[in-house]
């Protein structure tokens, strides 16, 4: 790695839908490049990329992004295999923002799926050049042309740069249209078979015409000469790929390495080097500093941490992409995200689960670093002096929460300390506490994501937890105004008494306004020093509403009058008077229950749209819009949170795993009457059970 120039460095991600063969293609590239001694396979657990127990023990899909650095044809390449399952897609979202290119893997049987389209759109939003690979051409019902046609709605214009050659029912190899050579399934290279020469000429013409449309000079040459030579085609492809005008489509069979060598050539020739990608936006940390990070070895150091690995014994490994400058072991650097200084430990070249020591890392290199204290995924690093701050990557947001508790009370501290470490490793996890319910919530990208995290917690830290559906954070409020409600405390039992009277006006507020208290006392009916006690009593009473004990929100309270006694009035008396008055007023103001409403966005193949819209309606949801997005349809809807707690499993069942969704809080709205009665009855039953 250290002897390779910046111009000969490539880093790229394998992206696509789950099950289309990204990991198998990664294994094929590695074995073809002689980076691995044997061809790893996903199905028998020999994959060097899918090396986690969670991936090998029955769950063959990737659950994390895996990194492998290797050399081929005088180039240094870093391959990042990203998960295709929506449960684990957060890892790919972060990794893509740190790399320079992408390979979209598409099934030769099913064509483009929702996950394929989504991941390429993420890459395109990051202005990332891409290639594509139609995989599985040896499978029953494989159809290269149908798979290619399914790419028509992708955000990049797909054009074939290879096509398969079959002899009978057997795939004998592929034709590389950029070199007009036949690449046999046995690894041989030679002239195109006569039986496929006419097809090759036709497909070459389609490639040349697509290429000519991207560049006026090429178009002029094509119109004059009627053709483009091999050099012009390859040079034109470099420009078209790096300017994101074309998506060259390769093909083959990953499990037998067919097409892997042609794809490696495309990666090294057409995808950009760090120098080709150019400067990254940044903010100077010192006055007069640069606002860009230049991909030069002698520039100020900057890097982006896109993955963290928590190892129970080895500690923390921070995997980063160097953007500018040079990083060496034992250097002192600054975590610009957190404003803290840290010292670099060893530099390691990641090769699946194996690590190789590296002396240094320059622009475009991806390395793991040990002992970076308090550095997390998404942090940006730089020099202590004359440093610059790269833009932090966009982080994924979870869509489903589970309440979590330690299996044994004695393990509670250990559980949450261990979970905190897993959250550092996986940016799509979030651990928090819902104040209104008292529950600790673990949020992730889906049910499988959460359950895989719990399994890893047991494996790595030897602690067990219980998962349960979280409580919905309902609220209570009022629907009409009431005036002059009396709150009174009068207590005389010998000696000094307790006396306080306040009169309150209550009025509903717009959603999200909380509780507002106004002092409207005139003439000293309540001494100024005691009015804060009334407010405190009101606020304390907001913790439990009269219907089902949920917190009260969105009420304006005006203290308009009162009475006091020069001897028996004190803070406690008026605090209780305020509480009594508020509770009495709430009951008279037609209280109701509010529920959280979520904005949901469901991405699904067109064939499932009807089922999903019907299901949303059955969940008391309202479909807002539907729109085509490549090969998928996006449904935007507003749905009560209570109806979405286990939606991930339902969506998987309805779509066979092809649908994905995101969800975020929108607002609170009134619960329908029949739902309100159910909540009230449930609260009464819970209270009765507690008293017995």
Q: State pLDDT tens for residues 372-388.
A: 888 999 999 999 888 89
List the one residue out of 509, 518, 673 whose CA is nearest residue 589.
509
Beta strand 9-16 pairing with 101-107: parallel
pLDDT (tens digit, 9 = 90+) per residue, 51-85? 887 777 655 678 889 999 999 999 999 999 999 88
Side-chain-side CA neighbours of residue 623 (13 Å) = 16
pLDDT of residue 315: 75
> Around Cβ 419, how many Cβ atoms within 10 Å?
22
pLDDT of residue 691: 65
Rounded Cα–Cα distance for residues 117 and 84 (Å): 11
Scan for tokens 């066979």, then name that residue: 656
Both ends of the chain: CA-CA distance in Å? 71
List the one residue out of 688, 689, 679, 691 whose CA is nearest residue 546.
679
Rounded Cα–Cα distance for residues 19 and 41 (Å): 13
pTM, two decimal places: 0.80
Q: Over 80: is that where the pLDDT of 513 sits?
A: yes
| Domains identified in the chain and CATH numbers | 6-273 (3.40.50.300), 283-390 (2.40.30.10), 400-468 (3.30.70.870), 480-589 (3.30.230.10), 594-674 (3.30.70.240)
User: DSSP state, 431?
Assistant: E
- pLDDT band for 313, please (50, 70, 90 cuts): low
Scan for tokens 């986690």, then name that residue: 52
pLDDT (tens digit, 9 = 90+) per residue, 102-123? 999 999 998 988 788 888 988 9
Phi and psi for 553 in degrees, rounded to 5?
A: -135, 165
Beta strand 366-370 pairing with 327-328: unpaired
Rounded Cα–Cα distance for residues 613 and 602 (Å): 10
pLDDT of residue 552: 96
More confident residue, 558 or 291: 558
Rounded Cα–Cα distance for residues 100 and 277 (Å): 7
Beta strand 170-176 pairing with 181-184: antiparallel
Question: Which range among 258-272, 504-518, 595-609 shows the weakest confidence by mean pLDDT?
Answer: 595-609
Rounded Cα–Cα distance for residues 678 and 179 (Å): 71
Q: Over 90: is that where the pLDDT of 553 sits?
A: yes
Residue 601 vs residues 399, 512, 609, 656, 662: alpha-carbon distances, Å? 10, 23, 12, 18, 5
Rounded Cα–Cα distance for residues 156 and 224 (Å): 28
């Amino acid at each position: 790695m250290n002897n390779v120039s910046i111009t000969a460095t490539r880093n790229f991600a394998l992206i696509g839908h789950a099950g289309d063969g990204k990991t198998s293609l990664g294994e094929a590239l590695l074995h073809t490049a002689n980076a691995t001694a044997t061809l790893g396979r996903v199905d028998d657990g020999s994959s060097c990329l899918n090396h986690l127990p969670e991936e090998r023990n029955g769950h063959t899909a990737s659950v994390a992004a895996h990194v492998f650095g290797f050399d081929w044809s005088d180039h240094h390449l870093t391959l990042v295999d990203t998960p295709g399952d929506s449960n684990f897609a957060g890892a790919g979202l972060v990794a893509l923002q740190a790399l320079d290119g992408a390979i979209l893997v598409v099934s030769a049987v099913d064509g483009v799926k929702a996950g394929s389209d989504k991941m390429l759109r993420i890459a395109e939003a990051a202005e990332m050049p891409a290639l594509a690979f139609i995989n599985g051409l040896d499978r029953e019902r494989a159809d290269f042309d149908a798979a290619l046609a399914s790419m028509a709605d992708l955000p990049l214009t797909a054009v074939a740069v290879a096509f398969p050659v079959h002899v009978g029912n057997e795939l004998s190899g592929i034709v590389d249209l950029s070199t007009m050579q036949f690449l046999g399934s046995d690894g041989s290279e030679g002239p195109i078979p006569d039986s496929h020469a006419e097809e090759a000429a036709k497909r070459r013409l389609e490639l040349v015409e697509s290429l000519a449309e991207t560049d006026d000079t090429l178009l002029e040459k094509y119109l004059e000469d009627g053709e483009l030579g091999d050099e012009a085609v390859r040079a034109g492809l470099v420009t078209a790929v790096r300017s994101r005008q074309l998506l060259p489509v390769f093909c083959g069979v990953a499990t037998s390495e067919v097409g892997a060598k042609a794809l490696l050539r495309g990666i090294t020739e057409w995808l950009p080097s760090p120098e080709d990608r150019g400067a990254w936006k940044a903010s100077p940390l010192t006055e007069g500093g640069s606002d860009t990070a230049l991909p030069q070895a002698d520039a100020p150091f900057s890097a982006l941490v896109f993955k963290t690995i928590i190892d129970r014994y080895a500690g923390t490994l921070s995997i980063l992409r160097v953007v500018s400058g040079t990083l060496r072991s034992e250097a002192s650097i600054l975590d610009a995200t957190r404003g803290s200084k840290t010292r670099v430990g060893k530099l390691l070249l990641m090769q699946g689960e194996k690590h190789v020591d590296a002396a240094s890392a320059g622009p475009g290199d991806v390395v793991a670093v040990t002992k970076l204290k308090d550095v997390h995924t998404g942090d940006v690093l730089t020099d202590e002096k004359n440093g610059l701050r790269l833009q932090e990557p966009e982080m994924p947001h979870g869509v489903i929460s589970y309440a979590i508790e330690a299996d044994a009370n004695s393990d509670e501290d250990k559980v949450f300390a261990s979970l905190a470490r897993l959250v550092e490793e996986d940016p799509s996890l979030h651990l928090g506490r819902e104040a209104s319910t008292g529950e600790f919530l673990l949020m992730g990208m889906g049910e499988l994501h959460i359950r895989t995290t719990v399994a890893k917690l047991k494996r790595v830290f030897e602690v067990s937890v219980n998962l349960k559906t979280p409580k919905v954070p309902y609220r209570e409020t009022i629907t009409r105004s009431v005036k002059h409600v009396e709150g009174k405390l009068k207590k005389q039992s010998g000696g000094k008494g307790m006396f306080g009277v306040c009169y309150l006006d209550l009025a509903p507020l717009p959603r999200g306004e909380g509780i507002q208290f106004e002092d409207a006392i005139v003439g000293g009916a309540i001494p100024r020093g005691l009015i804060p006690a009334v407010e405190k009593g009101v606020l304390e009473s907001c913790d439990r509403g009269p219907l089902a004990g949920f917190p009260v929100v969105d009420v304006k309270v005006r203290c308009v009058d009162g009475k006091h006694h020069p001897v028996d009035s004190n803070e406690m008396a008026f605090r209780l008077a305020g509480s009594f008055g508020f509770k009495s007023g709430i009951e008279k103001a037609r209280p109701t229950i509010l529920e959280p409403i979520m904005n949901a966005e469901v991405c699904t193949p067109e064939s499932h749209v009807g089922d999903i819209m019907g299901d949303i309606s059955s969940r008391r949801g309202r479909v807002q819009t539907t729109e085509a997005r490549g090969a998928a349809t996006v449904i935007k809807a507003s749905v009560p949170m209570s109806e979405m707690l286990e939606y991930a499993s339902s969506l998987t069942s309805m779509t066979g795993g092809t649908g994905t969704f995101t969800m975020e809080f929108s607002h609170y709205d009134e619960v329908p009457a029949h739902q309100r009665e159910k909540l009230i009855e449930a609260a009464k039953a819970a209270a009765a059970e507690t008293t017995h």
